[in-house]
Copies of this chain bind each other. A is one copy, B any other.
Amino acid sequence: MASGTSRGRLRVLGIDPGLTRCGVGVVDVAPDRSATLVHVGVVRSDPGAPIEERLALIAAGLRAVLDAHSPDVVAVERVFAQHNRATVMGTAQASGIALLVAGERGIAAATHTPSEVKAAITGYGNADKRQVQTMVARVLRLEELPKPADAADALALALCHAWRGAPSTTAASGPLTPAQRAWADAERVARR
């Protein structure tokens, strides 16, 4: 948990990394776990462009989101080597870019696995995509399911991060501010 703001809400940027489409979702989450949509979108790069230009485009697009929305923390989907080998290296490179742009601004970053995200959002680690999207829409009071899927995944990731908390970081950062204490309490409840 990087820092609460004076209003006690945590602003999380979730990033679903990908070379062709990088989903980005920004949510504000209050200590009572209620959440508000701030921004959702997709950063794209042309599959026909050289890899170095694609990664530079992705970095520029993600930095624009950081500039526009100043998140407290960035949550990135964790990529595994055993998944879909044809694209996994590109996805891993994009995830590296996502973590880099956070690190360069001194913003804390965390990674979460797809099953952690599903479990946090639906209570069930093997939930299907539709269930996750439905819950994300309900939590954020959206009239429609967020689209495309990458954008919905990014919102789910951001919500997951806020709800799961990051106790080790909180513990390492010394005495808690009132907002952080409220958060820690909310996290304890969430973990019961």
Contact = CB atoms under 8 A, between A and B. Distances in A.
Contacts of A54: 103
B93 A55 contact: no
Interface string A125-141: 00000000000000000
Copy number in this complex? 2
B93 A51 contact: no
A25 to B, nearest CB: 18
Main secondary structure of the interface of A (DSSP, over half): helix
A24 interface: no
Contacts of A51: 99, 103, 109, 111
Contact of A82 (B50, B85, B108): B85
A102 interface: yes
Interface range for A: 20 to 34
A80 interface: yes
Task: Name which of A54, A99, A100, A109 has the most chain B CB atoms within 10 A of its CB.
Answer: A100
Max count, chain B CB within 10 A of own CB: residue among A50, A51, A82 = A51
Contact of A102 (B52, B59, B79, B97): B52
Given A52-B109, A79-B89, A81-B88, 15 more contacts: A50-B108, A51-B99, A51-B103, A51-B109, A51-B111, A52-B99, A52-B102, A54-B103, A55-B99, A56-B103, A81-B85, A88-B92, A93-B99, A96-B96, A96-B97
